[in-house]
Amino acid sequence: MEVRFDSNFNSSARRSLSENRSYAILGTGALGGFYGARLQQAGIDVHFLLRSDYEYVKKHGLFIESPDGTFRLPQVNAYCNVHDMPCCDVIVVALKTTQNNLLRQMLPCLVKDNSVVLVLQNGLGVEEEVAAIVGSDRVMGGLCFTCNDKVAPGHFRHLHYGVITLAEYAYDYLACGITKRMLQVKTDFERAGILIQLAEDLLLARWKKLICNIPFNGLTVVLNATIKDLISDVHTRVLVEEMMQEMVTVAVAYHRAIADDYIEKRLKYIAKMGPYRTSTKIDFDYRRSLEVEAIFGNPLRAAQQAGIDTPQLAMLYRQLKFLDTYYCTDKAIAVLAH
């Protein structure tokens, strides 16, 4: 099965970015805070949107721990209101997908004629949400393979990896190839010491990541485990592999071929992370809303639409919906109130 490229794709509509590019970071957490700080450290103009940490970061800046070099930025462009931020060339969406309802108010304030919105979020269908606000030709997807934690206000710890896969978005996730502005964003991140991989097909890249995200992000929550626990135990490793294979089957149904040895290679790669808590596990431990729909619900619905039975994913989705409803702060309070 061949991947369909967008025959109507107009690369000229995706205009090149300015030579001296500015970045807006929406969501200065473990992901956005780390990448944004690295960009600023490299001399790039970066503007950070914060919520609870705003006062601290405005006064003290950002502190990054990393095996690639620990550093402090004593002064950053910090904002608590998106309306105070300047329009930027690259708007990085690093919010949790549970906060995507805020994007309709945020993004129009920040985009200019040749801006691109870089969506650094987990899951499936997240670019579609952004495209509905700013238009498909302004959207680029980014898939982060990194282990980061927030230690304290303005303090982020980078543990492993850090590579980002970039790909252009088009309607119905048709493949777009490599564009000039992808190369420009790549240049900025590599100047900041972040490894960038360019992908011609965003949907293929999304399915490849979901093959790993779904079992590890979900099972670490429902089994109260780390990645190391899941891989080390013979029973949970089989469960992980079964879930991964389900996603391979769905990807193939959408004409995205996955190499026969992909699962084996990813498990070897992931095993190096050690006793790492996934982002979904961290959210659950802090009783924050879980990204159930983007990471689990949307792939499940895609499988159903393609006529593919995914019993492991279906069970995991329902377990996480229960936990999200009854244990995660805002929703749990609402349920208990009734």
Looking at the structure, tell me whether residues 102 and 172 fall in a common domain: yes
For residue 235, being part of any structural domain is answered with: yes
Looking at the structure, tell me whether residues 120 and 22 fall in a common domain: yes
Looking at the structure, tell me whether residues 77 and 165 fall in a common domain: yes
CATH number for the domain that contains residue 227: 1.10.1040.10
pLDDT given at position 10 = 54
Least confident of 94-108, 156-170, 247-261, 312-326: 156-170
pLDDT given at position 168 = 98
**Confidence grade of residue 4 (pLDDT, cut at 50, 70, 90):** very low
H/E segment holding residue 161: strand 155-168
Looking at the structure, tell me whether residues 210 and 181 fall in a common domain: no
> What is the sign, positive or negative, of the torsion defined by CA atoms of 91, 96, 135, 143?
positive
pLDDT given at position 337 = 42
For residue 2, being part of any structural domain is answered with: no
* Residues involved in catalysis: 209
Listed residues 200, 224, 249: the one ending a domain? 200
Looking at the structure, tell me whether residues 182 and 306 fall in a common domain: no
Looking at the structure, tell me whether residues 194 and 217 fall in a common domain: no
On the question of pLDDT at 146 being above 90, the answer is no
From 70, 73, 89, select the one nearest 28 (Cα to Cα).
73
Looking at the structure, tell me whether residues 243 and 103 fall in a common domain: no
Listed residues 155, 178, 200: the one ending a domain? 200
Number of neighbouring beta carbons within 10 Å of residue 19: 7
Listed residues 200, 231, 246: the one ending a domain? 200
Q: What is the pLDDT of residues 10-69, one digit of tens each?
A: 555 567 887 899 999 999 999 999 999 999 999 999 999 999 999 999 999 999 999 999
pLDDT given at position 255 = 96
| Tokens encoding 162 | 């850090």
> How much is the average pLDDT of 248-266?
96
**Confidence grade of residue 1 (pLDDT, cut at 50, 70, 90):** very low
Looking at the structure, tell me whether residues 43 and 159 fall in a common domain: yes
pLDDT given at position 16 = 81
pLDDT given at position 243 = 98
Q: What is the pLDDT of residues 229-247, one digit of tens each?
A: 999 999 999 999 999 999 9
CATH number for the domain that contains residue 123: 3.40.50.720
Looking at the structure, tell me whether residues 87 and 210 fall in a common domain: no
Token pair 């691109």 in the structure block, residue? 116
- Classify burial at 12, counting beta carbons within 10 Å of its beta carbon; exposed 0-12, middle 13-18, buried 19 or more: exposed
pLDDT given at position 61 = 97
Full domain range(s) for residue 193? 11-200
**Confidence grade of residue 331 (pLDDT, cut at 50, 70, 90):** low
**Number of folded domains that form the chain:** 2
Looking at the structure, tell me whether residues 43 and 170 fall in a common domain: yes
On the question of pLDDT at 181 being above 90, the answer is yes
From 74, 65, 119, select the one nearest 92 (Cα to Cα).
119
> What is the sign, positive or negative, of the torsion defined by CA atoms of 278, 53, 93, 287?
positive
pTM over cut 0.85: yes
For residue 4, being part of any structural domain is answered with: no
Looking at the structure, tell me whether residues 156 and 234 fall in a common domain: no
For residue 6, being part of any structural domain is answered with: no
Q: What is the pLDDT of residues 64-112, one digit of tens each?
A: 999 999 999 999 999 999 999 999 999 999 999 999 999 999 999 999 9
- Compute CA distances 335 → 289, 297, 302, whole Å: 14, 21, 29
